[in-house]
Amino acid sequence: MFYNLSDKELEALKIIRNSLVHQGRIPSVRELMIGLNYKSPRSSAVLLKSLEEKEILRKKMDGSYQIVDFEIPEDYGSRAQTVKIPLLGSVACGIPIFADENIEAEVSISVEMIKKGCKYFLLRAEGDSMDKAGINNGDLLLIKQQQDAENGDRILALIDDEATVKEYNKSNGMVILKPKSNNKIHQPIILTDNFRIQGVVENVIKL
Amino acid sequence: MFYNLSDKELEALKIIRNSLVHQGRIPSVRELMIGLNYKSPRSSAVLLKSLEEKEILRKKMDGSYQIVDFEIPEDYGSRAQTVKIPLLGSVACGIPIFADENIEAEVSISVEMIKKGCKYFLLRAEGDSMDKAGINNGDLLLIKQQQDAENGDRILALIDDEATVKEYNKSNGMVILKPKSNNKIHQPIILTDNFRIQGVVENVIKL
DNA sequence: TGTAGAGTGTATATTTATGTATGTTTTATA
DNA sequence: TATAAAACATACATAAATATACACTCTACA
């Protein structure tokens, strides 16, 4: 699959993969140019051309490129593929969740943990309100960006300008966010359903 | 071994070795020309040719040169018994790790550093993500080929077709590769446990 | 409705770095 | 001094990367 690719071609593929995860599309000739530190769109266009000739990319009807196979190679284990997921710092209300000011770092995550076409981000867990659910202070939460959730999901919500992870429960037009640990400090939060879910916790990474 | 080499040839070898360790490639005819204070590319080209005839250099399939015999400086002239360990260059996707295309040189290493019956190879350290662990840019890493590791070992993994050395940590069905220095540039890499370790760093050779 | 601007893929010609080839000059030494 | 080896100055062909321009599609906005 990825045989006989030059270093530059592999680097281009890496950038394309990341662009697919975060922007949902193949980068433009000029975006790729910047990513590869080229100075002319020609250089990256030639690279795309050669990837097309090697049948890694394909041209669609409208002229735009499409990646032929974004699947994991069989010998994945020895050849881990990753995408970069932004690690968000403080998520304040009103600020778009992907605003550059919020991005603390970029963390490489195996593509095996990522669903194609979905947007993800990482958040550092603070406090211990979820420790019964296996989330401890300092853990990294891999969160899939979405607006809906199933009952029982651990969701990220913005409550009073704070990023909060709680268990989602909806019934009778009311939404109850339960902390997993049931003590006096962490009481459930009861809201109407006119609030926005930011995402669902897909994985908890203990560092 | 190097007895029938002229002074100029020895000097050229020194420059080639240096370039191999630090730039990861045989210098171009003109780079070697400058290094040897020649004024014409012909002069260094002739020198490369004669090193090839004396079988110190060898042409690979792709036409680029490869150094056949490479002793690390400490061993120069010593009577210590040595074995030849391959120095791997870029580890491209799809190519088995010991394929000829990957081998940049054969380096003589003292047998005292080698356990019998184990397979070893050398890798040039790039970047400084491991500098807190005593690995600096340009060091040669002596790596024992094995698939398993203990938490805390410095392992070699192929991440996005790049050879990466990081501290190994496995927990909860996830594998976390930590850089020793913890800053915004060097973040951990998070993988599923479905990936293969290439080897464990046994020694760091500083040149 | 029309226009300006940004972003797109592509085309043309140029620059740069490479290995090699052609002779010529210098240097060492027999 | 004669001669062979070494180093020289150039030139050529190729590949990669460059600068720049062109034509097309959007979208925003007056």
All structural domains of chain A: 7-69 (1.10.10.10), 84-205 (2.10.109.10)
Give per-residue pLDDT as tens, B174-203. 999 988 766 667 889 999 988 889 999 999
B192:A110 CB<8 A: yes
Q: Is the CB of B49 under 7 A from strand D?
A: no
Strands (E), chain B: 57-59, 65-71, 82-88, 103-110, 120-124, 140-145, 154-159, 162-171, 174-178, 189-192, 199-205
By the 8 A CB rule, do A188 and A129 touch?
Answer: no
Residue ranges of A 78-107 with Cβ closer than 8 A to chain B = 78-82, 87, 104-107
Give per-residue pLDDT as tens, A32-87. 999 999 999 999 999 999 988 888 887 766 666 767 665 544 555 567 888 899 89
Give per-residue pLDDT as tens, B75-110. 555 556 888 899 887 666 666 777 777 788 888 888
B93:A78 CB<8 A: no
Adjacent-strand bridge partners of B22: none
What Å value separates CA A69 and C1' D24? Answer: 29
Q: Left (φ > 0), alpha (ψ -120 to 50) or beta: where does B203 sit?
A: beta
How many Å separate Cα B154 from the centre of its chain?
Answer: 16
CA distance A18 to chain B (A): 12
Most confident of B2-11, B41-50, B66-75: B41-50
| CA pair distance A148, A151, nearest whole angstrom | 10
Predicted pLDDT at A180: 60
B158:A206 CB<8 A: no
Q: Which residues of B touch A3 (CB under 8 A)?
A: 93-95
Which of A27-31, A43-47, A169-173, B117-121 is least confident? A169-173
Q: What share of chain A is helix, strand, coil (3-state, %, to 5)?
A: 25, 30, 45
Adjacent-strand bridge partners of B198: none
Portion of chain A with pLDDT greater than 90, in percent: 19
> What is the rounded average pLDDT of the residues A170-176?
72
Give per-residue pLDDT as tens, B114-159. 999 999 999 888 766 566 667 887 788 999 999 999 999 999 988 8
B190:A78 CB<8 A: no
- Give me the sign of the Cα torsion angle B164, B123, B127, B139: positive
Predicted pLDDT at A165: 82
| A190-to-A103, A151, A178, B70 alpha-carbon distances in Å | 30, 14, 9, 71
Pairing of the two strands A197-205 and A189-192: unpaired
Give per-residue pLDDT as tens, A182-195. 555 666 766 665 67
Q: Which residues of B touch A140 (CB under 8 A)?
A: 190
Catalytic positions of B are 129, 166
Question: A–B: how many Cβ contacts below 8 A?
Answer: 79
Most confident of A57-61, A156-160, B1-5: A156-160
Taking the Cβ of residue B196 and every Cβ of chain A, the question of whether any pair is shorter than 8 Å is answered with: yes
* Nearest residue to B188 (alpha-carbon basis) of A207, A128, A93, A201: A207
> What is the rounded average pLDDT of the residues A154-177?
77
Q: Which residues of A touch B184 (CB under 8 A)?
A: 104-105
> What is the rounded average pLDDT of the residues A123-143?
78
Most confident of A120-129, A148-157, B60-69: A148-157
pLDDT at A133 exceeding the cut of 60: yes
CA distance A130 to chain B (A): 17
> What is the rounded average pLDDT of the residues B34-52?
93
B189:A107 CB<8 A: yes
Q: Mean pLDDT across chain B, nearest whole number?
A: 84
Mention every residue, 6+ apart, whose C-beta is less than 8 A from residue A131: A137, A180, A181
Between B100 and A91, whose confidence is greater?
A: B100
Taking the Cβ of residue A76 and every Cβ of chain B, the question of whether any pair is shorter than 8 Å is answered with: yes
Which of A88-92, A154-158, B152-156 is least confident? A88-92
B contact test, residue of A13, A56, A81 with most B CBs within 10 A: A81
Predicted pLDDT at B128: 65
Q: Mean pLDDT across chain A, nearest whole number?
A: 78
Taking the Cβ of residue B158 and every Cβ of chain A, the question of whether any pair is shorter than 8 Å is answered with: yes
> What is the rounded average pLDDT of the residues A6-25?
84
Taking the Cβ of residue A9 and every Cβ of chain B, the question of whether any pair is shorter than 8 Å is answered with: no
